[in-house]
């Protein structure tokens, strides 16, 4: 099976959808932020604080090269900025999880661990800047995607089912 790469803005639910997909399919799963945290043995937040964003982006590139060379049969969830990797399409089928900015923020705020979810994402600290980033990225996410799933007001399981169906149709 060709890999699936989940892209989309912070908090849109990439991790939640990935967890449902692996329950109902043969895919394994990986998360680029988790890979980076284990490579570095520190959190993304700490990496941003101690080394800056450029250092983090270089790690994302390293992970992208490794994924292309070494990974198959896997659903790969990515950090919100990973979509910029030049070899994205070489890694697998790109699936963009789409939702309006306000709905994404609402989703995070409604989560039982909302504070933690906001704190661990350095680029969500300032909502005005985050909205600008969203507006800048939205056309880019759309342009790079092979498949787009509107996740607004759908459960993670519904999104997972739609994803698997669309991936099958796209193959």
Minimum CB separation of residue 10 from ligand S3P in Å reads 3
Minimum CB separation of residue 44 from ligand S3P in Å reads 5
Minimum CB separation of residue 33 from ligand S3P in Å reads 5
Tell me the C-alpha distance between 67 and 74, whole Å.
10
Q: Contact positions toward ligand S3P, by CB under 6 A? A: 10, 33, 44, 79-81, 121-123
Tell me the C-alpha distance between 160 and 19, whole Å.
9
- By beta-carbon proximity to ligand S3P, the closer residue of 122 and 166 is 122
Tell me the C-alpha distance between 97 and 76, whole Å.
13
- By beta-carbon proximity to ligand S3P, the closer residue of 127 and 165 is 127
Tell me the C-alpha distance between 63 and 46, whole Å.
18
CB 166 within 8 A of CB 6: no
Closest CB to ligand S3P: residue number? 79
């Amino acid at each position: 099976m060709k890999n699936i790469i989940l892209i989309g803005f912070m908090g849109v639910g990439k991790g939640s959808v990935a967890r449902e997909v692996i329950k109902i399919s043969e895919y394994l799963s990986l998360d680029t932020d988790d890979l980076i945290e284990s490579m570095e043995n520190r959190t993304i937040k700490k990496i941003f604080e101690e080394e800056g964003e450029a250092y983090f982006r270089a790690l994302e590139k390293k992970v992208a090269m490794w994924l292309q060379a070494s990974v198959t049969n896997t659903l790969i969830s990515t950090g919100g900025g990973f979509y910029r990797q030049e070899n994205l399409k070489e890694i697998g089928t790109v699936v963009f999880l789409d939702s309006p900015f306000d709905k994404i923020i609402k989703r995070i705020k409604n989560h039982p661990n909302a504070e933690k979810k906001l704190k661990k994402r350095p680029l969500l600290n300032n909502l005005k800047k985050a909205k600008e980033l969203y507006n800048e990225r939205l056309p880019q996410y759309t342009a790079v995607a092979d498949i787009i799933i509107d996740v607004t007001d759908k459960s993670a399981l519904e999104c997972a089912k739609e994803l698997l169906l669309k991936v099958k149709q796209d193959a």
